[in-house]
Chain A
Amino acid sequence: MVPINFNHKENMKKIFKQLSFVMLLGLLPFVAQAKLKVVATTPDFASVAEAVGGDKVEITTLARATEDPHFVDAKPSFIVKLNRSDALVEGGAELEIGWLPPLLDGARNPKLAPGAPGHIMASQGVQLVGVPGTLDRSKGDIHAAGNPHYMTDPVNARIVAQHLAEAFTALDPKSADAYQANLKKFTEQLDAKMAEWQKLLAPYAGQEIVAYHDSWPYFAARFGLKLDLFLEPKPGIPPTPAHLAEVIMKMKANKIHVIIVDPYQNRKTAETVARNTGATVVDVTQFPGGVKGTEAGYIPMMDYLVNSVAKALSQKP
């Protein structure tokens, strides 16, 4: 028979030692993969979240870069992604109103409940433009909270980055330093680039461009461009020949020679207008990866946008 050790203290010490060893072992995988799982609705937020989160976060994006952010399908696989995430970065201002609510209902993830720290509303702190005075759908598909395409202004991306760093820190305080360092790096890069971009577009201040849909007011305002002519007669209403005729005549009268088109908009319509006016069609995107050469992230995308718009503006028709 094995003698029973009656030394209680000794026993406890042993058990404690063993237990703590086992617990440490058990904790190891958590420590190793304690990345914050973040779902971003669109690739622009994903890119900024990636820049701020660095290797401390794992980002999943729902909408694709070439996809119309208002008309994303509420695929069941998104429910699974939302169910298993620690945080959600949403554009807000009704950008995702057509598809995100049923996904969140299905995801049953309390971390993403409205008002929870994990439910990050990127529009928070951003000054939205185009807030309708009255809610009247005879004016087309309007957004009650204002125009949600605010990420085309780098100053807003700066606000979002700051907001994300705060939100990530609240969710994962032990990586606070990393988030701060990443934020600093990102904003410094952005500020440096910003000066460059403003210089590039400064010669064209006050010039007018045409867009397919009213999703570029922030970009235009930031870089001093005029933008109030659209191929759509009203938001969400497809272009009609009569409206396009009016656009063409205005373009000719005001010597407007640049039309910007997102990947999910009908390029054929823009090309038709361009053919009738001698204008240049510029492929633009609000999302990194939406146009070739923008895959590397938010700053390279803005770089592409500013350069291609500046180039088109520099070419006299």
Chain B
Amino acid sequence: MKISKLIGWSSALCLSATLLQAQDTNELEVLQRQLKAATENFDRVIKEQREIINSLNQRLDAVQAAMTNQQRIQNQTATVSPPAGSTNEAVAAAEKERLTQQLAAELGTNIAPSSATPPPSTSKAAWSPAQPITVAQAGSAYMNISFDTLMDAGWSTASDPSAQLQLGDHDPIKRGFSLRNAELAVDGAVDPYFKGFGNIVLKLDKNNETGIELEEAFLVSTSLPANLQLKAGQFFAAFGRQNPQHPHSWAFVDDPIILTRAFGPEGLRSIGTQISWLVPTPFYTEVFLGILDGQGGTSFSFRNPGDPDSLGINRVHGRATFDRTMAGPQDLVYVPRVVSSFEVTDHQTLVFGASGAFGPNETGPHSRSEVYGVDAYWKWKPSNASEGFPFVSLQTEALYTRFGAAADPTATVPGPLPAENLRDWGFYSQALWGFHPHWVAGLRGEYVNGNAGAFDANDIFRGQRTRVSPDLTWYFSEFSKVRLQYNYDQGEFIGTQHSVWLQLEFLLGAHGAHKF
């Protein structure tokens, strides 16, 4: 009984297996047939194309042969009567010159005619050992490398522009030439979890001695859940629009005055971490929270030891500073930001942001500072823009700073200093008009002011000041530009000053994409 049952079962199994196999065989056949059809189709297309290529090649050869013959005949003619040939050439040159002039007039361009023509490109050849080796390039190396240099030349009615007028660290600092930003930038994927960025800036001081700074070195997470992103290292704080931008993407040669008042010459940047969250709203909204170490000159309004006086005592706003050390989380600098963006129309985009920076300062054991900022950006670009032109953009940022200065009874200049709130406020607004491919005209207006402080009621770094700066930029290509800027400066304690700056930029290597 048992055995017969077993046989029954096994035969049933065998049958079903065979059936399954049959089914598989059917599918296999179908697939094979499909593959065969596809292969045949592929071969047919290839054959057809090859025939077309062959016939074209034959025709090309025939035409070339005919042309060579013709040329030979022409050459022979030329040997017989050489003047005719040179006359032809002269006629051609004259014709080209005439056409060039005519086209320049017709197109209304102000580009210099023949001299502006770049040299003819050499033919594309295979790499040979004599050619330079490309060290790194997107996709073929582990990182992108670029080297960007900004050079300035100019004149100012102020004999030492860096003393009162040009307070940004990458601004032109003196009459004549200055080079304040030669930046080596690297970036790439670290591993599946992080991307890494580095920025090393070299700059020449007034004596043309080279200074070096590790401007940024940070990693960014790529795979955190819940729309979160983590940044860690040394980086520019996400405060407003211009603070995190590198000078190469600025629209003017210098830093807005209010940014230098709130964040000092170098902008707000420090070692720390930042978490950001892409909020699940229908439009773009992102919130940031930066937690920064906040010690040193790059955290200007915070744990900044200031500059030494004649006795070597470090002072900020007249008060002697001391390293209050880190007693707890309250001694870190917190930088929250929220930013939203809207597509007003198909051609207009709006971005709004609000930022804050809160932390201790080193004038007293409990003294604190706060900076608040709002920013807006609007851009119009038609949908048939050529290389991104034309466009019009408006950008504005307003900041308010409260520096809670502690009392310094030991101060001697001008005398013992009371505890007081030093308040500074101001804004800049800039309009850019990309009126022709590679040409951008800009206009920036600025206003700053501050309350009178007990230390120095006439502090040139804090008084009322207005600056108006028109500029004109010409991008030779995406990798080089020249910019001419005029600054009209008027201030309570600096009088009226005029400056003209010319800036030249070149960029080698991988061109990082611009953020909006």
Q: Which residues of A contact B (CB under 8 A)?
A: 64, 66-68, 70-71, 73-77, 79-80, 83, 94, 97-102, 105-108, 110, 113-114, 130, 132-135, 137-141, 144-145, 155, 191, 198, 205-206, 224, 233-234, 236-238, 240-246, 248-249, 263-266, 268-269, 272, 275-276
Contact across chains for B511 and A266 when beta carbons are under 8 A apart = no
Q: Does B246 lie at the interface of the complex (its beta carbon under 8 Å from any beta carbon of A)?
A: no
Segment of B216-224, B255-263, B455-463 in the binding face: B216-224
Task: Please state if A246 and B96 are interface contacts (CB–CB under 8 Å).
Answer: yes
Task: Give complex CA distance A79, B513 in Å.
Answer: 14
Interface check B437, CB cutoff 8 A: yes
Q: How far is the CB of B16 from chain A (nearest CB, A)?
A: 25
User: Is the Cβ of B343 less than 8 Å from the Cβ of A97?
Assistant: no
Asked if B134 is an interface residue, CB under 8 A from chain A, the answer is yes
* Pairwise interchain contact A141-B349, C-beta atoms closer than 8 A: no
- Shortest distance between the CB of B312 and any CB in chain A (Å): 45
Which of chain A's residues have a CB closer than 8 A to the CB of B99? 241, 244-245, 248-249, 276
B384 lies within 8 A of A98 (CB): no
CA distance A113 to B104 in the complex (A): 49
Min CB gap B105→A, angstroms? 9
The answer to whether A145 and B139 have CB atoms under 8 Å apart is yes
Q: Determine if A240 and B127 form an interchain contact, defined as CB atoms under 8 angstroms apart.
A: no
Is B60 a contact partner of A241 (Cβ separation < 8 A)? Answer: no
Name which of B5-13, B118-126, B363-371 contacts chain A.
B118-126
Interface contact A108-B229, CB-CB below 8 Å? yes
Identify the interface centre among A76, A83, A137, A233: most chain B CB within 10 Å of its CB: A76
The contact size tier of chain B is: 35 or more
In-complex Cβ contact of B341 among A77, A113, A133, A276 (8 A): A77
Contact A241 B386 (CB under 8 A): no
Output the least CB separation between B115 and chain A (Å).
8
Contact across chains for B381 and A272 when beta carbons are under 8 A apart: no
Give every chain A residue within 8 A of B60 (Cβ-Cβ). Answer: 206
Q: Which residue of A lies closest to B342 (CB)?
A: A77
Which listed residue, B119, B138, B278, B346, touches A80 by the CB 8 Å rule? B278
Additional pairs, 12, CB under 8 Å, beyond known A98-B513, A238-B438: A71-B388, A73-B388, A77-B343, A113-B222, A114-B189, A133-B124, A134-B124, A238-B111, A238-B437, A240-B109, A249-B92, A266-B437
B residues near A265, Cβ cutoff 8 Å: 386
Q: Is B310 an interface residue (CB 8 A)?
A: no
Closest-by-CB residue of A relative to B99 is A245
**Residue in B56, B223, B283, B346 whose CB lies within 8 Å of A113:** B223
Q: Are B385 and A68 in contact (CB under 8 A)?
A: yes
Judge whether A243 and B107 touch: CB under 8 Å: no
Q: How far is the CB of A15 from chain B (nearest CB, A)?
A: 31
Give the one of B125, B189, B284, B349 with max A CB within 10 A: B284
B218 to chain A, nearest CB (A): 13
Contact pattern, B 118-144, Cβ under 8 Å of A = 1, otherwise 0: 110110111100011010011110000
**B163 interfacial contact with A, CB 8 Å:** no
Identify which of B95, B100, B138 contacts A94 (C-beta below 8 A): B138
Contact B437 A133 (CB under 8 A): no
Q: Does B454 touch A at the CB level, under 8 Å?
A: no
User: When chains A and B are docked, how far (Å) is the Cα of A292 from the Cα of B117?
Assistant: 35
Nearest to A109 among chain B residues (CB) is: B227
B383–A64 CB distance below 8 A? yes
Q: Return 10 A-B CB contacts under 8 Å, by A number.
A: A77-B283, A79-B278, A80-B278, A97-B511, A108-B228, A241-B101, A241-B107, A265-B386, A272-B107, A276-B102
A139 to B139 alpha-carbon distance, docked (Å): 21
User: Which of B63, B114, B282, B349 is the one whose CB lies under 8 Å from A206?
Assistant: B63
A241 pairs with B113, CB closer than 8 A: yes
Say whether B514 contacts A102, CB under 8 Å.
yes
> Which of A94, A133, A191, A205 is the one whose CB lies under 8 Å from B127?
A133
Taking a contact as CB atoms under 8 Å apart, the answer to whether A244 and B103 are in contact is: yes
| Beta-carbon contact of B438 and A67 below 8 Å | no
Contact flag A77-B349 (CB < 8 Å), given A133-B125, A206-B63, A242-B114: yes
- CA–CA, A18 to B52, complex, Å? 68
Residues of A within 8 A of B131 (CB): 134
Q: Once bound together, how far apart are the Cα atoms of A269 and B107, in whole Å?
A: 7
Measured between beta carbons, the chain B residues less than 8 angstroms from A198 are: 52
Chain B residues closer than 8 Å to A248, beta-carbon distance: 99, 103
Q: Which positions 279-300 of chain B face chain A at CB distance < 8 Å? A: 282-284, 286
Quick one: given A113-B222, A233-B118, A236-B477, are A245 and B100 in contact (CB under 8 Å)? yes
User: What residues of A have a CB within 8 angstroms of the CB of B2 in the complex?
Assistant: none
